[in-house]
A and B are shown apart, each in its own frame.
Chain A
Amino acid sequence: MSRLFGLYPRRWRVRYGDELAAVIEARPPTLRDRLDLVLGALDAHVHPELVEPAAATTRVPWGRRVSGLLASAGGIAWLTMVALAGRANERGVEEPGVVEVFWLALILMAIGLIGKDVAVHARLLGRSLAAGGILLALAFVLPWDGKVLVALPLVVLVGAGMLGLAATRARLSSGARRWIIVVGFAIPFVLLAPVGGGLYELSPWFGVPVLAPYGLAWILVGALLALRGDPTAAGRGPAPGPLEASAA
């Protein structure tokens, strides 16, 4: 149950966490209650003004909204790539457009990450990761033999770093950010990639449970960015986490 509490924003947990824990102890949660808590956590992220009055008066500049929408579009493109690659595997033929959609997803994620207002203390890291993502996408398009060997570790590092930074900008808590990076992407990718096949031979058990959550995470983080902007800009966000500190 504590994992579900961890989905809530830190300020929300400070205000209501003890009370909610007491309620849960008094009435063991059903499956419906657990789902209700997940939806409640999502609502708490979308409406930070409920426990943080200053957030209510903060207007999100259109540039940051566009940045978030592009990040979400990158997630949708990623899911499309997974679906196309899975279909190619099922039919045993090369499905046209898989690599192009993969390229599009990385470009959209990179542009969405850079935006025009990347937080000052994370600017270097953000731009480096975004540039790496673009180069990686180009590496997949260009015809050369060793692309998979070189590109796979880059996908892991750049992809996980990009998502982690976007999660930071969307003001997900540091715990949630680490969870997204480590469990949601890097570890399963590293463990399963050698046996999972290339883009054209994507096994269903690899594509759906391993790669699809990555696209879903981008859609969620992008939606949060579009709704709430970049709270780390202009010095009104939380203290920088390890990811940003390493880039400072």
Chain B
Amino acid sequence: MSGGMTEFGRFAEPSLYILVSLSDAPKHGYAIMTDVEEMTGEPLGPGTLYGALARLERRGLIEALEPIDRRRPYRLTALGATTLRAQLEGLAGFTRLGLERLGGAAG
């Protein structure tokens, strides 16, 4: 993780997953948890989920919508979308570089 979420510490990686989860539509906490688990194959604990949500909300990367019953949906802000795009492009570049080097070493 680099760029805008380095100060999130152990919440940086879960925060990225949450931003990706919210990139197609607003979701509430449980929907985010199940979506992240489907994406990564790893369960996202409730304490980690809300620790990351609180940080993302405070940084203005996501915003809370009106709750439906007790479930409050969150959606990506414009700043959140920009930050997510930058993070993913950075990771994509890093992935390409790694694969190129790996390919070179194997060949």
Contact = CB atoms under 8 A, between A and B. Distances in A.
Interface stretch (B16-24, B67-75, B83-91, B99-107): B67-75
A26 B43 CA distance: 14
Contacts, number: 71
B contact face: mostly helix, strand, loop, or mixed? helix
A35 B55 CA distance: 20
Interface in B44-80: 45-51, 53-55, 58, 67, 69-72
Given A19-B71, A22-B71, A50-B55, A36 B30 contact: no
B52 to A, nearest CB: 10
Q: Give the secondary structure class of A's interface.
A: helix
A3 to B, nearest CB: 14
Interface residues of B, number: 21
A19 B69 contact: no
Contacts of B47: 33, 36-41, 43
A32 B46 contact: no
Given A27-B33, A40-B51, A19 B43 contact: no
Contacts of B58: 49-50, 53
Interface string A44-73: 100001110100000000000000000000
A43 B51 contact: yes
A24 B46 contact: yes
B29 interface: yes
A205 interface: no
A160 to B, nearest CB: 29
A121 B27 CA distance: 45
Contact of B54 (A24, A35, A51): A51
B30 A16 contact: no
B47 to A, nearest CB: 2
B54 A18 contact: no
Contact of B67 (A19, A21, A24, A29): A19
A148 interface: no
Interface in A150-191: none
A18 B70 contact: yes
A141 interface: no
B30 A26 contact: yes
A40 B70 contact: no
A33 B45 contact: yes
Contacts of A27: 30, 33
Contacts of B55: 50
Interface in A8-35: 12, 15-16, 18-24, 26-27, 29-30, 32-33, 35
B70 A19 contact: yes
Most buried by A among B30, B43, B45, B50: B50
10 closest A-B pairs by CB: A40-B47, A36-B45, A36-B47, A50-B54, A22-B70, A37-B47, A18-B70, A26-B30, A23-B29, A23-B30
Contacts of B50: 16, 19-20, 40
Given A36-B47, A36-B48, A37-B46, 6 more contacts: A19-B29, A27-B33, A40-B50, A41-B47, A50-B51, A50-B54
